[in-house]
Chains A and B, each alone.
Chain A
Amino acid sequence: MTGGEGAEGAPALELAGFSKGYGGGRLAVDALSFTVRGGEIAGLVGPNGAGKTTTFRAIAGIHPPGAGVIRVAGHDVVRDGSAAKRRLALVPDEPHLFNSLTVWEHLEFAARVYGVPDWRRAGETLLEELEMAERRDSLADELSRGMRQKVAVACALLHDPAVLLLDEPLTGLDPRGIRTLYDTLRRRAAAGAAVVLSSHLLGQIEGLCSTFLVLRQGRLLFAGTQEEMRIAYGAEGEGSLEELFFRLTEGSGVPNAPQPVGP
């Protein structure tokens, strides 16, 4: 995949043969391998149950992998979890905040958890950037869903992570909020962070992501740019991401149905 190098020359995010199963012997993710380099914005897309959230949670060290290796900025999330987590941030699909803390206190909390010195200036900039400066003293339960989402994003960015994971970040955001978030993510990527986001709103992320990872039933079907996807799966003309996605995940109209990528 494209993009610059992560810390110490390693990819910012690297998954090799990652598998994860749940009860009943079902594999939620099966031998998933990909890398994302600093500066890249990768879109992790797939139908419901494809394993996107499980993958994010495993990268964030919440679910231990059943098999395989996950490295964040060169640190193994199992063996060197604390160091890996210091370089990573996860914004979950449903932003749950501490109802008894204000917006500003959430930032203070995040700064302390990640040990960020002199965070106030960065915090103010982030709130300005995300258009939340006027709500800094509001309690979390006074915020709308979109605002809570922005607070979660601000907390995630405060420690300047090398890898930023966003699970369905567009849900609940208004068009202006989406644009603001896009600008923020582009700036972070330009500064060298690897951004991975999942979304069902394919039309929305089409222009944002430089590369795409397509999952189905826990297996990686494709990894690469939209242009590479178009060439590989035979779409005529300017095949939209949505069109390509359906061809990939449903196999319709594809001369040779896609085979999972990787081992």
Chain B
Amino acid sequence: MNGGLLFLLRRSPRGKMRQAWRRMKTVKGALAFGFGALFIGGFVALQLWTFTLDVPIEPASRATVLAYLPPALLLLSVLGAMSGRALYFSPAEVDFLFPAPVGRRELLLYNLVSRVGVQLASGVWVALFVARYAVNPWNAAAATALSFVFLYVAAQAMGVAAAAAEVYVPERARPYVRRGLIVGLLSAALAAVATAGSGATPGMRLRAVAAAAPVQALAYPLRPFAELFGAAGWADGALWAAACLGVIAAVAGLVLLSDVAYTERSLAVSAKMHARLARMRSGGGIHASAAPSRLRVRTPGLRVLGGAGALAWRQLTELARTPRALVVPLLGLTVWVGTILFAFHESGDPDPAASAAVVIGVCLMLPVLFSGHVAFDFRRDLDRMDVLRSLPLSPVQVAAGQVLPVALVFMVMQYLVVIAAVVAGALRGPWLLGLALVVPPYAWATLAVENGLFLLMPYRVTPGDDQRMQFMGKVMLSMFLKAIVTGVLALAAGAAGWGIFRLTDSLDAGIAVGCVVLALGCIPLTFMVGLAFLGFDIGRDTPA
């Protein structure tokens, strides 16, 4: 392999550790790292501890593993290939390696070797959850880790094969061929499902797809992974592990031997993924990071709010033109509301207090859990902080204008839950009134806290970055602080409401006072966001 590539492979881990160490020298970095280590370490310890418990778990039978694991690996390989990630090179790799005298095979080998560590680590992480369902957890863990390596090699092979095949397809026809292939695969899967008969359960339909002759034939080379997962003895395990390594080596060998001109495809994939990562960096999760749609939806101008209204209007317009940002929250909302409706439908006439508690819980958790996916506020504007600071608006006006759009989105979602609960008969009387009143200040308070914390800790790592521990820590720390601040506010409002209720014996009066306290709490919170915005150090916290 080229000396430069070897140098990169050797130096990159050391460089990343040096970077992480440098970040840990700041209070924020150390806190983020500490929380990340605590969360990951605690989670791993918890999983390992559950292994020691004497809880009887029926291990998956060999037949089940052999029936499902190879087709599942096949499916994951196809999905991995479609994502194009196996031909992804970072912008620095593209700039330095593509024009350099480095062979295509060498580049692919470098790509594989530099990513294999992450694949193995991901496999070990997943093994923590699945190994307990095997006869021998160690064999299962090895099978899982090797499967992850295989998935990457397979995705690389399919990416290279696609690059080779593209040469024979005119450029204009390529999107249609791609769509045709997807439709063909889905049709074949549906046809296999249909063979299970009309009265079949979902499990039977899944089995029918897995048992289809073409699926079995294509997945046959992947049997060693299933055999290793289900192997009971060490000797069997070693044998099948060697077979798995053989399969991986064979696929990798095929990829490296076929000298396909994949660089152009790789360049396109890399540019696309890099653009996505750049959008993710400014917040909004994977769905908000999608490119804006071609929709030209217009939103209300909010002129009555002055400069803050202009900011809110801009964010709302961007949100309306990026509808995919709402996919995850809406999906979560649908599942929750659907479950509530189903539960109340099944239970007949449930206890009003208990049903109200469930609905209130859903409403309160909605912005806490999903606000990260709808980051149309300061988080999305991290690269535009200088512009925001230059506007002739007070920090509180900017804070209000930035928080309003996301708070509105969550208010609408929460009211949808309330409406669904009312329709299902799960919410009535003073609970309905209380929740309807609590929703606006609560949504505002949650999003204000979210933005305030973000401005205080504008950590720039994304899930695609290398500092995963610190990213995880930042997320955990942020959720922890968010829970504390909103909890204190809710406690104050609850205490005030309860006090009034005790004094007047009127639940309505108690709820009303609680809501007023909550709403009043939003005012200092908004000021605090303004202060955090004022204290934001553009020179230090925004990227070069």
Complex-state Cα separation, A83 to B90, whole angstroms: 24
Contact of B264 among A24, A64, A109 (CB under 8 A): A64
B100-108, B119-127, B221-229, B296-304 - interface stretch: B100-108
Q: Does A105 contact B (CB under 8 A)?
A: yes
Are B92 and A97 touching (Cβ within 8 A)? yes
Are A21 and B264 touching (Cβ within 8 A)? no
Complex-state Cα separation, A82 to B466, whole angstroms: 31
Q: Does B8 contact A (CB under 8 A)?
A: yes
Q: Does B3 contact A (CB under 8 A)?
A: yes
B346 CB → nearest A CB, Å: 53
Residue interface mask B85-109, A partner, CB < 8 A = 1? 0000011101111111111000000
Are B101 and A114 touching (Cβ within 8 A)? yes
Are B544 and A98 touching (Cβ within 8 A)? no
B19 CB → nearest A CB, Å: 5
Are A101 and B99 touching (Cβ within 8 A)? no
Residue interface mask A17-29, B partner, CB < 8 A = 1? 0000111110000
Q: Which of B12, B96, B99 has the most CB of A within 10 A?
A: B99
- Please report which residues of chain B, range 1-15, place their CB below 8 angstroms from some CB of chain A when the two chains form the complex: 2-8, 11-12, 14-15
Q: Does B172 contact A (CB under 8 A)?
A: yes
By DSSP majority rule, is chain B's interface helix, strand, loop, or mixed? helix
Are A113 and B544 touching (Cβ within 8 A)? no
Instruction: State whether A25 and B3 are in contact (beta carbons under 8 Å apart), knowing that A96-B91, A100-B466, A109-B96 are contacts in the complex.
Output: no
Contact of B8 among A60, A64, A98, A152 (CB under 8 A): A98
Instruction: State whether A113 and B5 are in contact (beta carbons under 8 Å apart), knowing that A82-B103, A85-B100, A139-B19 are contacts in the complex.
Output: yes
Are A25 and B171 touching (Cβ within 8 A)? yes
For B95, the chain A residues whose CB sits under 8 A away are 90, 92, 95-96, 152
Are B98 and A99 touching (Cβ within 8 A)? no
**How many interface contacts (CB-CB < 8 Å) are there between A and B?**
107
Q: Does B66 contact A (CB under 8 A)?
A: no
Complex-state Cα separation, A156 to B525, whole angstroms: 52
For B172, the chain A residues whose CB sits under 8 A away are 23-25
Instruction: State whether A85 and B466 are in contact (beta carbons under 8 Å apart), knowing that A25-B171, A96-B91, A114-B4 are contacts in the complex.
Output: no
A144 CB → nearest B CB, Å: 6
B117 CB → nearest A CB, Å: 14
Are A60 and B99 touching (Cβ within 8 A)? yes
For B544, the chain A residues whose CB sits under 8 A away are 141, 143-145, 148
For B6, the chain A residues whose CB sits under 8 A away are 112
Which A residue's beta carbon lies closest to that of B174?
A23
Instruction: State whether A113 and B101 are in contact (beta carbons under 8 Å apart), knowing that A92-B95, A100-B18, A143-B544 are contacts in the complex.
Output: yes
Complex-state Cα separation, A155 to B544, whole angstroms: 20
Which A residue's beta carbon lies closest to that of B90?
A96
Are B98 and A86 touching (Cβ within 8 A)? no
What class of interface size applies to chain A in its complex with B? 35 or more
Residue interface mask A34-54, B partner, CB < 8 A = 1? 000000000000000000000
Q: Does A189 contact B (CB under 8 A)?
A: no
Which B residue's beta carbon lies closest to that of A113?
B4
Complex-state Cα separation, A155 to B2, whole angstroms: 17
Complex-state Cα separation, A86 to B2, whole angstroms: 13
Are A115 and B3 touching (Cβ within 8 A)? yes
Complex-state Cα separation, A98 to B16, whole angstroms: 10
Complex-state Cα separation, A143 to B16, whole angstroms: 17
Contact of A105 among B15, B22, B96, B102 (CB under 8 A): B15
Are B171 and A22 touching (Cβ within 8 A)? yes
For A105, the chain B residues whose CB sits under 8 A away are 11, 15
Q: Does B492 contact A (CB under 8 A)?
A: no
Residue interface mask A95-123, B partner, CB < 8 A = 1? 11111110001001111111100000000
For B102, the chain A residues whose CB sits under 8 A away are 85, 113
Which A residue's beta carbon lies closest to that of B17?
A100
For B466, the chain A residues whose CB sits under 8 A away are 100
Complex-state Cα separation, A115 to B91, whole angstroms: 22
For B91, the chain A residues whose CB sits under 8 A away are 94, 96
For A109, the chain B residues whose CB sits under 8 A away are 4, 7-8, 11, 96
Contact of A96 among B7, B12, B92, B103 (CB under 8 A): B92
Complex-state Cα separation, A88 to B171, whole angstroms: 30
Instruction: State whether A112 and B94 are in contact (beta carbons under 8 Å apart), knowing that A61-B99, A101-B15, A144-B544 are contacts in the complex.
Output: no
For B118, the chain A residues whose CB sits under 8 A away are none
Are B98 and A62 touching (Cβ within 8 A)? yes
Q: Does B261 contact A (CB under 8 A)?
A: yes
Are A98 and B171 touching (Cβ within 8 A)? no
Q: Does B479 contact A (CB under 8 A)?
A: no
Complex-state Cα separation, A62 to B103, whole angstroms: 12
Which A residue's beta carbon lies closest to that of B16?
A100
Contact of A139 among B18, B90, B97, B100 (CB under 8 A): B18
Q: Does B263 contact A (CB under 8 A)?
A: yes
Are A100 and B15 touching (Cβ within 8 A)? yes
For B5, the chain A residues whose CB sits under 8 A away are 113
Complex-state Cα separation, A85 to B101, whole angstroms: 5
B108 CB → nearest A CB, Å: 15
For A114, the chain B residues whose CB sits under 8 A away are 4, 100-101
Q: Does B78 contact A (CB under 8 A)?
A: no
Are B2 and A113 touching (Cβ within 8 A)? yes
Contact of A62 among B8, B12, B263 (CB under 8 A): B263
16 sample A-B contacts, Cβ–Cβ < 8 Å, listed by A number: A25-B171, A62-B94, A63-B264, A83-B101, A85-B99, A85-B100, A89-B99, A90-B95, A100-B15, A101-B12, A101-B15, A105-B11, A105-B15, A111-B4, A112-B2, A114-B100
User: What 5 A-B pairs have minimum CB-CB distances, sorted nearest first?
Assistant: A100-B15, A113-B4, A96-B91, A60-B99, A112-B3
Excluding A90-B95, A98-B8, A114-B101, 11 further A-B contacts by CB distance (< 8 Å) are: A21-B171, A23-B171, A60-B99, A64-B264, A85-B99, A85-B100, A100-B12, A109-B4, A109-B11, A144-B544, A155-B96
